[in-house]
Amino acid sequence: EAGVTQFPSHSVIEKGQTVTLRCDPISGHDNLYWYRRVMGKEIKFLLHFVKESKQDESGMPNNRFLAERTGGTYSTLKVQPAELEDSGVYFCASSQEPPWPGGTDTQYFGPGTRLTVL
Amino acid sequence: AQSVTQLGSHVSVSEGALVLLRCNYSSSVPPYLFWYVQYPNQGLQLLLKYTSAATLVKGINGFEAEFKKSETSFHLTKPSAHMSDAAEYFCAVGYGNKLVFGAGTILRVKS
């Protein structure tokens, strides 16, 4: 079974440009999550999809970030326009069931996309 | 609010020595706790998770962690380090529909 995949693995862009990150979750996983790790900091939650619906986007930094999940399959995270502080590693994760409350399903992570904004 | 503190951003051990990575959490509800590992150029991989079934949790690759409510700790241990254990380790607490992570500990194994 294929794991969570992310594309690209690395992206280097200039400040003010637009970048789109893609995540393909494990097949059959309704829950999809985006996290971000800024250099030297903790990995932080950005948002959670259940199928194609945004369940929780409380971690999104600002309105320059737009996440979509077309048809409840893959997801994209667009940053427009990118700023220097957006640099970091963006992780995607998926799970079959919501982990809490009640369930204890594991979130499976992809390898991440390293974004560098110059 | 939930939070996680990992003591020591870098830990160095000799091959064959005990590995101890420390994690303390803050949670207003009974916690679900996780340890993940990230090997170079790979994604986060689940090592083990605590979900209140047993306080001593065994994970993959010989790792285990003990949940101690009185100490609000969930330290990760392995009796004998192997070179292949060199990686970054993350402790996390489940909070609603999200994971709250510690800052990570980089484990170095010396030959």
Find out whether A4 and A108 touch, Cβ atoms under 8 Å.
yes
Integer-rounded Cα radius of gyration of chain B:
13
Instruction: Give the whole-angstrom CA distance, residue A104 versus residue A107.
Output: 9
- The Cα of A18 is separated from the nearest Cα of chain B by a number of Å equal to 24
Percentages (nearest 5) of helix, strand, coil residues in chain A: 5, 45, 45
- The Cα of A73 is separated from the nearest Cα of chain B by a number of Å equal to 19
How many cross-chain Cβ pairs, A to B, lie less than 8 Å apart? 59
The answer on pLDDT for A32 being more than 50 is: yes
Residue B62, chain A, CB below 8 Å: the answer is no
Instruction: Give the whole-angstrom CA distance, residue B99 versus residue A98.
Output: 12
Under an 8 A CB cutoff, do B45 and A4 touch? no
Chain segment B51-74, per-residue pLDDT in tens: 877 889 999 999 999 999 889 999
In this prediction, the residues of chain B whose per-residue pLDDT falls under 50 are none
Which token pair is A71? 């048809």
Residue A101 — pLDDT band, cuts 50, 70, 90?
low
Nearest CA in chain A to B51: A104
What proportion of chain A, given as a percentage, has pLDDT over 70? Answer: 93
Cβ neighbours for A53, distance < 8 A, ≥ 6 positions apart: none
Under an 8 A CB cutoff, do B90 and A111 touch? no
Instruction: Give the whole-angstrom CA distance, residue B50 versus residue B93.
Output: 9
Residue B57, chain A, CB below 8 Å: the answer is no
Average pLDDT, chain A: 91
The neighbour count for residue A52, using CB atoms within 10 Å, is 14
